[in-house]
Chains A and B, each alone.
Chain A
Amino acid sequence: MQLYRAHVLVCGGTGCVTSGCMDVHAELEKQLEKNGLSEEINVIVTGCVGTCDIGPILMVYPEAIFYQKVQVEDVAEIVEEHILKGRPVNRLMYQDKTSEIAEFIEKYYDIDFFNRQTRIVLRNTGVIDSTKIDEYIARDGYQAIAKALTEMKPIEVVEEIKKSGLRGRGGGGFPAGIKLELGHKADGDQKYMICNADEGDPGAFMDRSLLEGDPHSIIEGMMLASYAIGANQGYVYVRAEYPLAVDRLVTAIKQAKEYGLLGDNIFGSGFNYSLDLRVGAGAFVCGEETALMHSIEGLRGEPTPKPPYPTDAGVFGYPSVINNVETIANMPQIILNGSDWFNRFGVENNKGTKVFAVAGNILNTGLVEVELGTTLRTVIFDICGGVPNGKKFKAVQIGGPSGGCIPAEYLDTPITYDSLTSLGAMMGSGGLIVMDEDTCMVDLARFFLDFTQEESCGKCTPCRIGTKRMLEILERITEGHGQPGDIEKLEELAESIGDSSFCGLGRAAPNPILSTLRFFRDEYEAHIDGHKCPAGICKGLLNVEIIEDKCRSCGICARICPVNAIAGQRGQPYVVDQDTCTRCGLCIESCPFDAISKH
């Protein structure tokens, strides 16, 4: 085995790829070559490290120096200074943005964002090269399935998962062990295990990062679950919008086959297993399990009634168990380390960890894995650094378009399935969007309704038409045309749609409205009754006006206005034509005298 003096990890997650890490990687190889270091320095492209807004990211081991926002032109300096001469480049190190003075933090493990996380599911992402099966194996990979196939009966795997208390990470929180048990007990020679990788919440990328960063853990988890229920065929249903994830999975499956980890008579146990990808066209509703199954069958992705439940009659009519990516990724660790070990993480009824994709008005955007029961405050403020630009925290939206928002007074709520539900939000798949005081909550509800409305499969009346009507009401409120009675109409529709829709998409579609109404009803009233958007977001309710006393009639605003809505002449205050003005705000920013206001 070749030994290296140092390892340079290049984050190859989708976020960093977008910010140009592949060019940085190429430059790194070039510079190492140039300096004759290729033989002693090992460069590894990893999965997502988690801090997506500060990529491209490089980490240099053994020192664990963390470099952020590395540009191609920085690479030579890192190679020459740090790698060749042992002098880490300070200016490229991670900066603690919460601190008053710009403080550089050298070491990966000194960064709050990382050291407060508990990484079970993400233990390999950002650490190993996911295109190399050996790296997964070196991190205990495929030991759990080896243990299961050689030492455990299928029912024992079921029991171990049951004892672990693992709950479905896709949103509903259904106990994963019970699902396996139902699959195990189902009659049938043919059964299917399905991994739901149809992650579709806006802003969510937990599953994608996992598939990209540690695809073998999904393969191993699928093998365990399949062995437990008696399936010899598995499908990973992944959306076509995740080309990198698809690519990494295809590579991983190919390698696993080459190593005899997929195929016939695995580990000489007699267990045969085949795993295939099914690439979906990215319909949100295909996250619903019956819709997903129909999509696999080649039909239109639409839910069908339950019963029959998938464990009785699933894909092609055969018993099938469907679990989310993150749920499956937990299984190898549980089998390997035992349910008692897993039980040490989390709180009562909510064992283990949960991965969140944190986005919005937050200092550190990225992927965070914490123990269940951790408070929202810890995640948002301690790990992710809180709200930037001195703005006030207003609320956090959890659970994506099916979830709800939670305002500041509940920041100390421990994150559990039940606590979130009781607050009108939901765990969902783990999307977490932080909002500052400049967020209009009516507009937020409108945004999510716009999404669900388009993603409805159109099968049932309440979801097909009802979500559209709710969206229309929200649109007219945010455009300044709200009418008395609109709130009541929204409530009436929301209740009925939530109660009578066919599947989870429609049932949860009103949640963003209901939860914003619950905590921010006054904002709705301000829009409708007061014709005001308190956050100053809804353009239809804003007037841009020039304050006569302050205007020096310099004319800058008139020149910068893209729609020529401002006119005036020297010596007299300028005037904004409200009909033409698009409320873009450029004039406000450009005025040297603060003479323009938006209200």
Chain B
Amino acid sequence: MQNVTLTIDGRQVTVPEGTTVLNAAKELGIDIPTLCYLPKINEIGACRVCVVEIEGARYLEPSCIYQVRDGMVVKTNSHRVRQARQINTELLLSDHAHDCLVCDRNNNCDLQDLAARLGIREYRFEGVKNEAEIDDSSESIYRDPSKCINCRRCIAVCAEVQGVHALGAAERGFETGIVPAQHRPLADISCVNCGQCTIVCPTGALTEVSHVTKVARALGQKQKHVVVQTAPAVRVSLGEEFGMKPGTNVQGKMVAALRQLGFDGVFDTDFSADLTIMEEGTELINRIQNGGVLPMITSCSPGWIKFIEHNFPDMLPNLSTCKSPQQMFGALAKTYYADKMGIDPKDIYSVSIMPCTAKKFEITRPDMDSSGYQDVDAVLTTRELAKLIKSAGIDLATLPDEEYDDPLGISTGAGVIFGATGGVMEAALRTAYEVITGEELPKLDFEMLRGLKGVKQASVQVGDLTVNVAVAHSLVKARELMEKIQSGEIDDLHFIEIMACLGGCIGGGGQPRSDDPYVRSKRISGIYTADKDMKLRKSHENPAVQQLYKEFLGEPNSHKAHELLHTHYIERER
């Protein structure tokens, strides 16, 4: 690729051909504001905030998509540019709800930041506003169109990354808006609740359905015994909300903060992740040995579950019947744990901290009340937990580390890697190998299953058996893999791990928003460091899990285990 030299604001810069003006300016330290732009996903030049003046061009051009040419002369800061940038921002404000103070995104809003940066101090172009009803039909995603600025990032991420196509532009002119497919409520369409749209939304138009108030209320009720579980991926991302680098492991501080918030038992979803390996591993071995439906596909990711229910109903028998770790924990908290502690399960309020918005939907699914009560009462996303901690005035960074409570807080490295793509598969293989062969696994790290490649495939020798596995993350890649299986292009797989979100749970829709392009890799390396640092790294070695089987469940896939820890799936229309 050739280099081209151009002049931006009077300074020369040499960049490779094909570079955008926006990125060329970045090389010079010139920060052109953007709004609709989302690198590689939404490059549509729609908001007209990043416009610049190109010498010789009749009109202002959007720097986010305009490519450099040799000898090009660009002005990013002329009066003409500033005028258009400011007016376009003012126009966006004129059709935007003016309730910043009580908005979920107050102080964390791209539009607010932009208005502040441009020094907008009055609403000059007021007029009628689009009035569209709030869509609160979904258990996971809350849609307030009065805050939508038509940037279309949500459409792009939903279509390009997830292949779900739940959202699209409708109507024309001023009434143009972003609506769910067929203008139906989000809950009634094939939206999988993954929440990626809530991450990319620059304003408060798309947010998670908040459980913060519910949880705070439960914490204030004396007769409630409030337990909490924290998902693997939360510990390596929560710190970002408190100014720490992505991937920083704040497990100990998070546990301490949760205690300070008043949770009566602070537990780890890693524990039930280990349990999932026992159940799912046993199920897989049974399927292989007894001619069951193969390939078996993981069922931890509720976004993926709803996706397969809508799009590949023929393949539902391939899904593992195991509930997700969140739901296994929930079922045990109000049975095993309640028994052990002598607490009436009706007095237990079970909260989970998840990197995921679809988990809010998952707790309402059928079968998720096998304890006789709703197994999990509320789900807080990583972002919501951060809000709760901040509102309590807790300074996360300075808290001394604390340990999880016993016994549902005991886990292995195999549990924590559930948080990254490939992790469930790796954890399963660590256990399957040793259970089947009776020998110790020589090397624990399955490097070929790690990392951000969309679809990863490997063959692993387990005794006499060659186990063929695949790992996919993001639903576009999941669809790709499913289609290859359906067409017979891939026909030798035994086991597949699928996570709805890019990078796995560390990239979940409930995670902190970040403008770090490497945020996923950093969180993933936080996860694997946590794994390395664990004394125990194989699920079947988890003493608390062993004790659970001994005292309560009997053995993996026992009748009781089936009652509490397994589920069914539903065919849904496309």
Q: Report how far A454 CA is from B175 CA in the complex, Å.
A: 8
Q: Which of A285, A304, A453, A459 has the largest count of B CB atoms less than 10 A from its CB?
A: A459
Q: What 1/0 flags go to B135-164 for Cβ under 8 Å of A? A: 000000000000001100000000000000
Q: CB < 8 Å: which of A468, A499, A501, A507 contacts B173?
A: A468
The answer to whether residues A455 and B46 also contact, given A493-B87, A496-B88 and a CB cut-off of 8 A, is no
Q: Which of B45, B66, B171, B173 has the largest count of A CB atoms less than 10 A from its CB?
A: B173
Report A450-481 residues with CB < 8 Å from chain B CB. 453-462, 464-469, 472
Q: Which residue of chain B lies nearest to A458 when distances are taken between CB atoms in the complex?
A: B176
A548 at the interface (CB under 8 A from B): no
Interchain CB contact under 8 A, A457 and B172: yes
Interchain CB contact under 8 A, B174 and A468: yes
Interchain CB contact under 8 A, B174 and A499: no
B127 at the interface (CB under 8 A from A): yes
Interchain CB contact under 8 A, B47 and A461: yes
B394 at the interface (CB under 8 A from A): no
Q: CB < 8 Å: which of B51, B59, B176 contacts A464?
A: B176
Q: What 1/0 flags go to A480-508 for Cβ under 8 Å of B? A: 00000000010011011111111000010
Distance in Å: Cβ of A57 to nearest Cβ of chain B: 37
Distance in Å: Cβ of B402 to nearest Cβ of chain A: 49
Contacts of A469 in B (CB 8 A): 91, 94, 125, 127
Q: Report how far A456 CA is from B49 CA in the complex, Å.
A: 18
Q: Which residue of chain B lies nearest to A504 when distances are taken between CB atoms in the complex?
A: B59
A305 at the interface (CB under 8 A from B): yes
A283 at the interface (CB under 8 A from B): yes
Interchain CB contact under 8 A, A465 and B60: no
6 tightest A-B CB contacts, nearest first: A458-B176, A468-B174, A500-B84, A465-B91, A496-B87, A472-B127
Distance in Å: Cβ of A172 to nearest Cβ of chain B: 11
Contacts of A465 in B (CB 8 A): 91-92, 94-95, 125, 174
Q: Which residue of chain A lies nearest to B149 when distances are taken between CB atoms in the complex?
A: A461
A254 at the interface (CB under 8 A from B): no
Contacts of A467 in B (CB 8 A): 173-174
Interchain CB contact under 8 A, A458 and B84: no
Q: Report how far A246 CA is from B177 CA in the complex, Å.
A: 32
B459 at the interface (CB under 8 A from A): no
Contacts of B168 in A (CB 8 A): 300
Q: CB < 8 Å: which of B45, B51, B65, B87 contacts A466?
A: B87
A390 at the interface (CB under 8 A from B): no
B128 at the interface (CB under 8 A from A): yes
Q: Report how far A65 CA is from B546 CA in the complex, Å.
A: 106
Contacts of A455 in B (CB 8 A): 172-173
Contacts of A497 in B (CB 8 A): 87
Chain A to chain B contacts (Cβ below 8 Å), 6 pairs: A285-B172, A305-B44, A307-B67, A461-B46, A466-B87, A468-B128
Contacts of A502 in B (CB 8 A): 45-46, 48
Q: Report how far A56 CA is from B182 CA in the complex, Å.
A: 45
B466 at the interface (CB under 8 A from A): no
Distance in Å: Cβ of B22 to nearest Cβ of chain A: 13
Interchain CB contact under 8 A, B84 and A499: yes
Q: CB < 8 Å: which of A457, A495, A501, A507 contacts B176?
A: A457
The answer to whether residues A458 and B88 also contact, given A464-B176, A500-B51 and a CB cut-off of 8 A, is no
Interchain CB contact under 8 A, B88 and A462: yes
Interchain CB contact under 8 A, A458 and B174: yes
B80 at the interface (CB under 8 A from A): yes
Contacts of B88 in A (CB 8 A): 461-462, 466, 496, 500
B-to-A contact residues, CB < 8 Å? 44-49, 51, 59-60, 62, 65-67, 80, 83-84, 87-88, 91-92, 94-95, 124-125, 127-128, 149-150, 168-169, 171-177
Report A543-566 residues with CB < 8 Å from chain B CB. none
Q: Report how far A302 CA is from B128 CA in the complex, Å.
A: 24
Interchain CB contact under 8 A, A458 and B169: yes
Contacts of A304 in B (CB 8 A): 44
Q: CB < 8 Å: which of A285, A457, A466, A500 contacts B60?
A: A500
Interchain CB contact under 8 A, B60 and A499: yes
Q: Which residue of chain A lies nearest to B83 when distances are taken between CB atoms in the complex?
A: A496
Interchain CB contact under 8 A, A466 and B91: yes
Q: Report how far A468 CA is from B174 CA in the complex, Å.
A: 6
Distance in Å: Cβ of A295 to nearest Cβ of chain B: 13
Q: Which residue of chain A lies nearest to B60 when distances are taken between CB atoms in the complex?
A: A500
Q: Report how far A374 CA is from B141 CA in the complex, Å.
A: 62
Task: List 18 other contacts, CB 8 Å, given A465-B92, A499-B59, A502-B46.
Answer: A305-B62, A305-B66, A453-B173, A458-B175, A458-B177, A459-B46, A460-B45, A460-B47, A460-B48, A461-B91, A461-B149, A462-B48, A462-B87, A465-B91, A465-B94, A468-B127, A469-B125, A500-B87
Contacts of B80 in A (CB 8 A): 499
Q: Report how far A294 CA is from B114 CA in the complex, Å.
A: 32
Q: Which residue of chain A lies nearest to B92 when distances are taken between CB atoms in the complex?
A: A461
Contacts of B62 in A (CB 8 A): 305
Q: What 1/0 flags go to A438-457 for Cβ under 8 Å of B? A: 00000000000000011111
Q: What 1/0 flags go to A46-64 for Cβ under 8 Å of B? A: 0000000000000000000
Contacts of A454 in B (CB 8 A): 172-173
Interchain CB contact under 8 A, B87 and A492: yes
Q: Report how far A207 CA is from B494 CA in the complex, Å.
A: 62
Q: Which residue of chain B lies nearest to A468 when distances are taken between CB atoms in the complex?
A: B174
Distance in Å: Cβ of A488 to nearest Cβ of chain B: 11
Interchain CB contact under 8 A, B92 and A500: no
The answer to whether residues A464 and B174 also contact, given A472-B128, A500-B48 and a CB cut-off of 8 A, is yes
Q: Report how far A116 CA is from B76 CA in the complex, Å.
A: 53
Interchain CB contact under 8 A, B59 and A507: yes
Contacts of B48 in A (CB 8 A): 460-462, 500-502
Q: Which of A461, A464, A495, A497 has the largest count of B CB atoms less than 10 A from its CB?
A: A461
Contacts of A307 in B (CB 8 A): 67
Q: What 1/0 flags go to A495-530 for Cβ under 8 Å of B? A: 111111110000100000000000000000000000
Distance in Å: Cβ of A478 to nearest Cβ of chain B: 15
Q: CB < 8 Å: which of A456, A466, A500 contacts B172?
A: A456
Q: Report how far A449 CA is from B539 CA in the complex, Å.
A: 67
Q: Report how far A498 CA is from B58 CA in the complex, Å.
A: 10
Distance in Å: Cβ of A506 to nearest Cβ of chain B: 9
Contacts of A302 in B (CB 8 A): 169
Contacts of B177 in A (CB 8 A): 458
Contacts of A300 in B (CB 8 A): 168-169
Q: Which of A453, A468, A493 has the largest count of B CB atoms less than 10 A from its CB?
A: A468
Interchain CB contact under 8 A, B150 and A464: yes
Distance in Å: Cβ of A406 to nearest Cβ of chain B: 22
Contacts of A501 in B (CB 8 A): 48, 59
Q: Report how far A489 CA is from B44 CA in the complex, Å.
A: 28
Distance in Å: Cβ of A368 to nearest Cβ of chain B: 31
Contacts of A461 in B (CB 8 A): 46-49, 88, 91-92, 149-150
Q: Which residue of chain B lies nearest to A451 when distances are taken between CB atoms in the complex?
A: B173
Q: Which residue of chain A lies nearest to B178 when distances are taken between CB atoms in the complex?
A: A458
Distance in Å: Cβ of A241 to nearest Cβ of chain B: 15
